[in-house]
């Protein structure tokens, strides 16, 4: 019986390979076409879902400067602890804590910080605890502090003493080591003597941080090989009101004196409210530029156009937006940012960059003005920026916005205005269903080639109702496969689509407001979503030139559930073909490379799951990951098989 089954299966397989009519024939013109932009397949960073503080920014202490409106939010204090701002250490973050002895040798005064949803401590890792301190009111000559890390059973793991022997503010640091891995540890500091102290900017950094950033999350970005890095958002560029918009000038210089900002995402969204969500700006524009350099992505800062978040403010509301005639400080912010990134060290902002440790220019080539703006209030303001940026920096490319929707009246108006203003790139946003992504694989086939280029600046496939129903699966294989299929259309249209960034990038499993997101993490580890693997496969196989790929003279965009595109890589001299099979049957496909020489052996990397709801989680990070095997071409053609529900990348 078993033998008969095997024979039947073999026969079916043989018939499939021999029956030419069951085979799809794809023709790939081997002559290199339009160049693929180096900026293709990038990342979009926004401080949402605790992406910065509590996420990529490695400082483990929440409210380290005591500037949250409830000054002690995040801290558990005991004994005699008060808050003061008299003779502060930092003028833009003036509050600090005063610790006074409790008046009894057995009673303690001190404070504890549990970080963001607990502090993750790793076995063998060192932690640098630093704080600014001074003797309180010159009461004595020396005060002692005990600094300790504590595990989730309240057992101290390691401790060190700090002696404060001056009445002038001074930075003190100790290094603690954890001998165990703890999910929800804490930092405790208490007076260990009879003298009082003033303390400010209490910070705790893991020893493996990279310029203040979490090493594992930096690696997750690096491994994507992104072409462009968009920052700092998203709606936080705009702010809930103008006062809380992202102001890059507040995010540079000494970290201790970067003023705290209220995060636009601390309000209720998807039924989740995080009133403790603030921006320390520890991850600021200097760090964003450094990170771009490290991960090899072109930096793309987006700045406020003078409109507070249009979702949160009616356009005619008083003070929602800056009057057109009052925009000059905002325009100056844009011009000064270009100087900060590229200016000589003799210039005001170039000098600050050099003082911060980077005399070489960052090589900024483009800037976005306005995030996701719409309506008449936008172009009338953008126009003023365009004129002055063009006049002073004619080589800098400008990105404008087409609004929050994938199409419709508002979108068309946005594009019309962007053309009129002659911006270089138009930022399109689409958070749509998997079905939409499949149906829109040909979206760019007929786009105007003469106008501005496309920047797909925020996109992700959303399985129905996801944001309103937290129980719905997130970042699942269904979404990822539809993105892979859609992206063949980005690749095929490389002459008009210049860059694309999946969004959002990060989410803390205990602090998310929006999903899906590319990378999830807790305080100890991170996980690369299935969607991450799709982005990585595109980012590491983007090639240098597009190739025409057709079936019966037409692009492959949905027939038999297949989506395909091809590129050539001049550097490696490889042909790369991407095929997403969204159907329920495996497909036999002959790839005919017209004009190519003999291709020889190649590889295929596949991403597949039998379960469309499959996800990668912190506990099963390798649930859906790419698999590689070899394929063989015959002359200049190769007959390959692409399994049902599979994304495959072939390389010859
Ligand atoms: O990515 C999340 C949000 O989606 C962004 O902040 C905003 O630009 C868009 O509406």
Determine the distance separating the centroid of ligand 1 and the alpha carbon of 235, expressed in angstroms. 6
Ligand 1 atom nearest residue 431's Cα:
4
Report the C-alpha gap between 299 and 288 in whole angstroms.
8
**What are the two backbone dihedrals, phi and then psi, of residue 421, each rounded to the nearest 5 degrees?**
-80, -10
Ligand 1 atom nearest residue 265's Cα:
6
Token pair for 629: 């095997």
Report the C-alpha gap between 607 and 109 in whole angstroms.
56
Report the C-alpha gap between 478 and 580 in whole angstroms.
12
Token pair for 428: 């399109």
Q: Is there an atom of ligand 1 within 6 Å of 458 CB?
A: yes
Catalytic residue among 372, 417, 428, 483: 372
Determine the distance separating the centroid of ligand 1 and the alpha carbon of 233, expressed in angstroms. 7
Q: Is there an atom of ligand 1 within 6 Å of 233 CB?
A: yes
Which residue from 186, 202, 190 is spatially nearest to 80, judged by alpha carbons?
Answer: 190
pLDDT at site 473? 60
Determine the distance separating the centroid of ligand 1 and the alpha carbon of 356, expressed in angstroms. 30
Ligand 1 atom nearest residue 236's Cα:
6
Ligand 1 atom nearest residue 234's Cα:
6
Q: Give tens-digit pLDDT for 581-596.
A: 999 999 999 999 999 9
pLDDT at site 466? 55
Determine the distance separating the centroid of ligand 1 and the alpha carbon of 63, expressed in angstroms. 25
- The count of C-alpha atoms lying within 13 angstroms of the C-alpha of 326, restricted to the half-sphere facing its C-beta, is 7
Per-residue three-class SS string for 273-327: CCCCCEECCCCCHHHHHHHHHHHCCEEEEEECCCECCCCCCCCCCCCCECCHHHC
Which residue from 130, 185, 123 is spatially nearest to 156, judged by alpha carbons?
Answer: 185
Ligand 1 atom nearest residue 458's Cα:
1
pLDDT at site 137? 80
Q: Is there an atom of ligand 1 within 6 Å of 62 CB?
A: no
Token pair for 564: 């395909």
Q: Is there an atom of ligand 1 within 6 Å of 514 CB?
A: yes
pLDDT at site 21? 45
Ligand 1 atom nearest residue 504's Cα:
1
Determine the distance separating the centroid of ligand 1 and the alpha carbon of 280, expressed in angstroms. 20
- Provide CB contacts within 8 A for 506, sequence distance 6+: 45, 49, 50, 51, 55, 56, 217, 517, 518, 519, 520, 521
pLDDT band at 270 (very low <50, low <70, confident <90, very high): low
**Ligand 1: which of 305, 372, 531 to mutate, judged by most atoms within 8 Å of the beta carbon?**
372
Give the closest residue (by CA) to ligand 1 atom 6: 234
Determine the distance separating the centroid of ligand 1 and the alpha carbon of 163, expressed in angstroms. 47
Give the closest residue (by CA) to ligand 1 atom 7: 234
Residues paired with 565 in a beta bridge: 578
Determine the distance separating the centroid of ligand 1 and the alpha carbon of 83, expressed in angstroms. 36
Q: Look-up: residue for tokens 């049957």?
A: 585
Strands 182-191 and 425-432: unpaired
In contact, 616 and 475? CB cutoff 8 Å: yes
Average pLDDT, the chain: 94
The side-by-side arrangement of strands in the sheet containing 506-508 is 506-508, 519-521, 526-528
Residue 372 known to be catalytic: yes
Give the closest residue (by CA) to ligand 1 atom 3: 234
Q: Is there an atom of ligand 1 within 6 Å of 372 CB?
A: yes
- The count of C-alpha atoms lying within 13 angstroms of the C-alpha of 589, restricted to the half-sphere facing its C-beta, is 31
DSSP 39: T
Give the closest residue (by CA) to ligand 1 atom 4: 234
Ligand 1 atom nearest residue 264's Cα:
6
Give the closest residue (by CA) to ligand 1 atom 1: 504
pLDDT of residue 13 exceeding 60, the answer is: no
Q: Is there an atom of ligand 1 within 6 Å of 427 CB?
A: no
Ligand 1 atom nearest residue 371's Cα:
8
pLDDT at site 5? 40
Determine the distance separating the centroid of ligand 1 and the alpha carbon of 430, expressed in angstroms. 10
Ligand 1 atom nearest residue 372's Cα:
8
Distances from the Cα of 103 to the Cαs of 79, 99, 109, 153, 218, in angstroms? Answer: 9, 12, 10, 29, 47
pLDDT at site 471? 53
Token pair for 31: 């002559």
pLDDT at site 144? 95
* pTM of structure: 0.95
Percent of the chain with pLDDT strictly greater than 90: 90
Report the C-alpha gap between 326 and 85 in whole angstroms.
33
Report the C-alpha gap between 172 and 647 in whole angstroms.
53
Cα 108 to its chain centre, rounded Å, is: 43
pLDDT at site 16? 39
Give the closest residue (by CA) to ligand 1 atom 5: 234
Least confident interval from 68-82, 257-271, 279-293, 419-433: 257-271
Q: Give tens-digit pLDDT for 353-386.
A: 999 999 999 999 999 999 999 999 999 999 999 9
pLDDT at site 318? 84
Q: Give tens-digit pLDDT for 468-522.
A: 555 556 899 999 999 999 999 999 999 999 999 999 999 999 999 899 999 999 9
Mean pLDDT calculated for residue range 611-633: 97
Q: Is there an atom of ligand 1 within 6 Å of 371 CB?
A: yes
Token pair for 589: 């496909």
Determine the distance separating the centroid of ligand 1 and the alpha carbon of 457, expressed in angstroms. 10
pLDDT of residue 626 exceeding 50, the answer is: yes
**Ligand 1: which of 233, 410, 512 to mutate, judged by most atoms within 8 Å of the beta carbon?**
233
In contact, 473 and 446? CB cutoff 8 Å: no
Q: Give tens-digit pLDDT for 279-322.
A: 999 999 999 999 999 999 999 999 999 999 999 999 888 889 99
Q: Give tens-digit pLDDT for 76-133.
A: 999 999 999 999 999 999 999 999 998 888 899 999 999 999 999 999 999 999 999 9
Q: Is there an atom of ligand 1 within 6 Å of 234 CB?
A: yes
CB atoms within 10 A of CB 420: 10
Determine the distance separating the centroid of ligand 1 and the alpha carbon of 591, expressed in angstroms. 39
Report the C-alpha gap between 12 and 363 in whole angstroms.
58
Cα 24 to its chain centre, rounded Å, is: 38
Mean pLDDT calculated for residue range 222-242: 97
Q: Is there an atom of ligand 1 within 6 Å of 504 CB?
A: yes
Token pair for 318: 């008083």
pLDDT of residue 12 exceeding 50, the answer is: no
**Could you give the angle at the alpha carbon of 465 between the alpha carbons of 312 and 440, nearest 5°?**
90
pLDDT at site 464? 73
Least confident interval from 27-36, 54-63, 98-107: 98-107
**Ligand 1: which of 43, 45, 46, 231 to mutate, judged by most atoms within 8 Å of the beta carbon?**
46
Q: Is there an atom of ligand 1 within 6 Å of 428 CB?
A: no
pLDDT at site 193? 87
Q: Is there an atom of ligand 1 within 6 Å of 53 CB?
A: no
Q: Give the gyration radius of the chain's Cα atoms.
A: 28
């Amino acid at each position: 019986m078993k033998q008969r089954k095997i024979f039947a299966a073999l026969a079916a397989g043989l018939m499939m390979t021999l029956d030419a009519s069951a085979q799809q024939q794809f023709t790939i013109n081997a002559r290199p076409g339009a160049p693929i932009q180096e900026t293709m397949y990038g990342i979009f960073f926004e401080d949402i879902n605790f992406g910065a503080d509590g996420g990529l920014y490695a400082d483990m202490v929440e409210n380290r400067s005591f500037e949250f409106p409830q000054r002690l939010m995040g801290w558990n204090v005991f004994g005699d602890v008060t808050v003061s701002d008299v003779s502060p250490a930092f003028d833009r973050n003036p509050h600090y804590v005063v610790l006074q002895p409790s008046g009894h040798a057995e009673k303690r005064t001190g404070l504890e910080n549990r970080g963001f949803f607990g502090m993750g401590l790793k076995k063998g890792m060192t932690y640098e605890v630093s704080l600014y301190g001074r003797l309180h009111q010159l009461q004595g000559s020396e005060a002692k502090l005990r600094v300790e890390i504590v595990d989730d059973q309240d057992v101290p793991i390691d401790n060190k003493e700090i002696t404060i022997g001056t009445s002038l503010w001074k930075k003190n640091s100790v290094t603690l080591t954890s001998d165990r891995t703890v999910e929800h540890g804490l930092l405790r500091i208490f007076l260990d003597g009879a003298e009082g102290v003033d303390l400010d900017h209490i910070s705790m950094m893991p020893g493996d941080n990279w310029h203040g950033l979490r090493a594992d999350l930096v690696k997750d970005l690096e491994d994507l090989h992104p072409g462009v890095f968009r920052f700092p958002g998203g709606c936080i560029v705009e702010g809930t009101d103008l006062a809380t918009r992202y102001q890059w000038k507040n995010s540079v210089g000494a970290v201790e004196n970067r003023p705290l900002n209220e995060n636009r995402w601390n309000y209720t969204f998807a039924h989740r409210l995080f009133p403790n969500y603030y921006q320390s700006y520890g991850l600021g524009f200097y760090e964003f530029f450094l990170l771009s350099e490290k991960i090899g992505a072109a930096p793309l800062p987006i700045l406020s156009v003078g409109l507070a978040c249009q979702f949160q403010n009616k356009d005619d509301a008083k003070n929602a937006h800056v009057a057109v005639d009052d925009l000059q400080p905002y325009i100056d912010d844009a011009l000064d940012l270009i100087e900060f990134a590229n200016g000589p060290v003799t210039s005001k902002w170039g000098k600050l960059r050099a003082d911060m440790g980077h005399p070489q220019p960052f090589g900024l080539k483009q800037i976005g003005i306005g995030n996701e703006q719409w309506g008449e209030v936008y172009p009338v303001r953008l126009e003023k920026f365009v004129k002055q940026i063009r006049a002073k920096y004619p080589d800098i490319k400008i990105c404008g916005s087409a609004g929050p929707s994938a199409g419709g009246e508002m979108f068309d108006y946005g594009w019309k205005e962007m053309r009129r203003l002659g911006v270089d790139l138009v930022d399109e946003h689409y958070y749509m269903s998997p079905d939409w992504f499949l149906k829109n694989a040909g979206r760019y086939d007929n786009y105007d080639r003469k106008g501005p280029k496309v920047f797909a600046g925020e996109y992700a496939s959303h399985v129905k109702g996801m944001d309103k129903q937290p129980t719905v699966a997130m970042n699942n294989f269904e979404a990822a496969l539809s993105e892979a299929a859609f992206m063949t259309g980005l690749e095929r249209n490389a002459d008009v689509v210049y860059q694309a960034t999946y969004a959002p990038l990060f989410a803390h499993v205990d602090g998310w407001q929006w999903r899906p997101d590319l990378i999830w993490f807790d305080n100890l580890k991170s996980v690369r979503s299935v969607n991450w693997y799709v982005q990585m496969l595109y980012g590491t196989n983007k090639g240098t030139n597009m190739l025409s790929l057709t079936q019966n003279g037409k692009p492959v965009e949905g027939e038999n559930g297949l989506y395909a595109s091809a590129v050539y890589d001049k550097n490696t001299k490889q042909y790369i073909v991407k095929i997403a099979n969204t159907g329920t049957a495996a497909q036999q496909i002959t790839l005919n490379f017209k004009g190519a020489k003999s291709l020889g052996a190649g590889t295929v990397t596949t991403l597949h799951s039998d379960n469309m709801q499959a996800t990668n989680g912190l506990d099963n990070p390798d649930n859906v990951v790419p698999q590689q095997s070899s394929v063989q071409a015959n002359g200049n053609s190769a007959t390959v098989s692409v399994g049902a529900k599979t994304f495959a990348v072939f390389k010859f």
